[in-house]
Structure 1
Amino acid sequence: MNLYVDDNTCKALLVTLLRKAGHQVTVPSNVGTAGVSDARHFLYAVTNALLVLTQDHNDFEDLHLVVQATHGQHPGILAIRSDNDASRDMKDRDIVRAIGNLERAGVPVADEFHVLNHWR
């Protein structure tokens, strides 16, 4: 998958694991979008045909709903839910595994909002 990992999700280990798993990964610091709003992250991802990987579940779900309401399109959003509970929250390896599970299932991702926690 071609992924854009937003600021709040962009950790070195996660990026390394995603790349080792065969994903193309774009990070904000490499493309001049570090520190921009979620809407700007989404705009960059959409205009560059990249799936968004984010922990900003609510903000990106809202952006997804706006796109749907206006009959627009986007490459997809992969959200990670976090409850600030280390025993339940997804670790970097869990995230990579969930993306692989989603990919192997052949589920469409374009124009969709997927919560990766459901794909462990």
Structure 2
Amino acid sequence: MASDSFQYRVLFEYKRERGDDISLQPGDILTVNKMSLLAPDYQEGDERSPKGWLHGTNERTKEKGDFPGTFVEYVGVVRVSPPATKPWTRPVPPTPGGAQAPPGLQPPAGASASGGELGPNM
């Protein structure tokens, strides 16, 4: 399931003032999740001209944190997809020494390795 995010280009240098902030250099690209701008507590500006504090990821440094919306310009929408799964499953190598289970994982007496009971009709 993909989600939309907004990207912004940094116009002015910003040095971190608090622990939750991220430092910015002109030209950095920042990605902000669309949901953070739709949150009820964000009411300053809109995605194209943010005026309040935004929370996002600096794509250059991979830092996440808050930054002033007035220091950036709107670039556009980016669709973020979840990481793709591998198209194949990696096979598990055989257990060294044969199919012996480690101590404590032995099947109960009278049971086969598949879990069935041994009987006279085997």
TM-score range, shorter chain: under 0.3
TM-score by length of 1: 0.22
More strand by share: 2
Q: Please give the TM-score of this superposition, normalised by the length of structure 2.
A: 0.22
Q: Which one has the bigger helix percentage?
A: 1
